[in-house]
Each structure stands twice: as structure tokens, then as C-alpha cells.
Amino acid sequence: MFDIFQYVDIVNLLSVPLTLFFLGLWGIVVLRKNLIFILISIELLLLGVNLSLILASLFLDDLVGEVFSLFILTIAGAESAIGLAILVSFYRLQNLISVDLVSFLKS
């Protein structure tokens, strides 16, 4: 069986999920005026965590990380669906999508 860990170090493999995670974190901090970009950034955060869990699961030869990544993907899908439903309802009420007016939904 092909073992990728005999050719590539785990630190080099973890640079990709770390980059995804920090790109999502940067998107939340910098692009916080647009709700769609915030949702995309949250998805990038979750994908970075998923990829790191899968790599750790492969490195340790254990299925726990892969099971957790399936749970996280399920939560990410539900989060996207609920977030987009809130965006659509907010757009129908206000005819614009802005983070500044989100407090309107509280009332």
C-alpha cells in the first residue's frame, strides 16, 4: 500500500490546512462588512479543521479523525443552509445585505 508519510513530512502536509484556517480567520476579521464573505470564511475555517483531522487520522492510522470530520461537514452544511436562509429573509425585508443592519433581526 502506498504510504505518503514516508515521502512527505507531516509538517509539510499540515501547512495546507493551516493556510486554509488562517485565510478563513483573515476573511472574518477583515471582510466583516459582507455577510456572504463571512459565511465563506467560516466554511474555510471548517474545511481547514477537517483537512487537519483527516491528515492526523491518516498519520496515526486511526478512524476517529475521519469520523469527526464527517460530523464537522454535517454541521458546516447545516450552518450554510441556515445562514443562507437568514440572508434571504433579511434581503426580502430590507432589500440589501449589510452587517450594520443585522440588529434589525433582533426585534
The tens digit of pLDDT for each residue in 73-97 reads 998 899 889 988 988 887 888 787 7
Q: Which three three-digit cell numbers place residue 98?
A: 449589510
What are the mean pLDDT values of the chain's consecutive 10-residue runs (107 residues total)? 70 90 94 85 93 89 90 90 86 77 61
In a domain, 5, yes or no: no
3-state secondary structure of 9: coil
Domain housing 97 = 10-106
In a domain, 71, yes or no: yes
Question: Do 48 and 20 contact (CB within 8 A), yes or no?
Answer: yes
Give me the pLDDT at residue 2, please. 60
CA 45/CA 105 separation, integer angstroms: 26
User: How many domains is the chain partitioned into structurally?
Assistant: 1
Model pTM score: 0.80
DSSP letters of 29-86? HH-TT-HHHHHHHHHHHHHHHHHHHHHHHHHHT-SHHHHHHHHHHHHHHHHHHHHHHH
Give me the pLDDT at residue 36, please. 84
CATH code of the domain covering residue 19? 1.10.287.3510
Q: Which three three-digit cell numbers place residue 21?
A: 484556517
Give me the pLDDT at residue 22, please. 96
